[in-house]
Amino acid sequence: MQADDAAVEDTGLTVVASIDVYTDLVQGIAGDTVEVDPMVDSTAVDPHSYEATPQDRLAVENADVIIANGGGYDAFMTLLASSADKEEQLYQLIPGENWHSHEFDGTWENEHIWYDLDRMSEFVLDFADHLGELAPENAEFYTENAQALAGDIDDLAERNRQLDAEGLNYFATEAVSGFLLDDTGFDNVTPLEFLNAVEHGDDVSPRLYSEALDLAEEIDLLSFNPQTETQQAARIRDAAEDADAVVVEFTETLPEDADGFLDWMDANIDIVEDALQEIR
């Protein structure tokens, strides 16, 4: 629930973000005091391979704040900011070499951090401070909204952890759901090389593909991202279904029927809960 906005002012600030996940969270902090728009807001589009349009370039040129996920996920956003000489306006969640994934050992990193609910709680609090510096007249309003929103996200994180999937494993055709499933307690058996190839938009090697098909016959759960579906991913799904593994779908961005980030993540946790009941 947002704080009373009777005393807040329209700042005239414009915020543009790479994906609708972040624009929804910013809207929850700022309400109608800023204009917020995403580049990618459809589950029919794969953000990894998104190509910026002339309208996107204009939006970045006119923006007061540019939000990029970082970590290689939305390189188009940082390139747009650089070409428009707007690096100072860039708010990047994964700050390059300072980012270290807690999900896996090794060189591969999961950039889908909006599925890390603890990280999103931190983000809304930090971004409220950032907006408060740009519009100090509304700083208290932003802080109150962010604290309420962070509390709701924390409640979801705790609910997810309470599901307790210890002793069960999963394979992911793409890493989007990793943080959520890991925090539930699942063991991720997806090879790092496989995830790295997928994140770079490549077909995996015959060796890795064969290994994935074998793993699909032994897992408890398959995490499938329909937004980045390939022929190889579809065949891995078939193999998992044939072996009676539970298959669940997670999208990169907000589904059309989701009423914002909180509703979406609540629904994702419902999916995990239902899957656990089916497995057990």
Q: Which amino acid is at 72?
A: G
Query: What total of structural domains would you count in the chain?
Result: 2
Which of 159, 193, 213 terminates a domain? The answer is: 159
- Residue 3, domain member (yes or no): no
Neighbours of 266 (CB within 10 A): 17
Co-location of 137 and 254 in the same domain: no
pLDDT given at position 4? 59
| Averaged pLDDT in 10-residue chunks for the chain of 280 residues | 69 96 98 96 85 95 97 92 96 67 54 97 98 97 98 98 97 95 97 86 87 97 91 95 97 93 98 96
Which of 159, 185, 204 terminates a domain? The answer is: 159
Q: Which two tokens stand for residue 143?
A: 């802080």
Q: Which two tokens stand for residue 234?
A: 């579809």
**Secondary structure class of 49 (helix, strand, coil):** helix
**Secondary structure class of 248 (helix, strand, coil):** strand
Q: Are 92 and 113 in contact (CB under 8 A)?
A: no
pLDDT given at position 3? 59
Q: Are 69 and 45 in contact (CB under 8 A)?
A: no
Extract the runs of DSSP E, i.e. beta strands, from 27-80.
Answer: 34-40, 65-70
Domain with 179 in it: what CATH number? 3.40.50.1980
pLDDT given at position 97? 39
Supply the Cα-derived Rg of the chain in whole angstroms. Answer: 19
Consecutive H or E run containing 16: strand 13-19
Q: Which two tokens stand for residue 117?
A: 């609910």
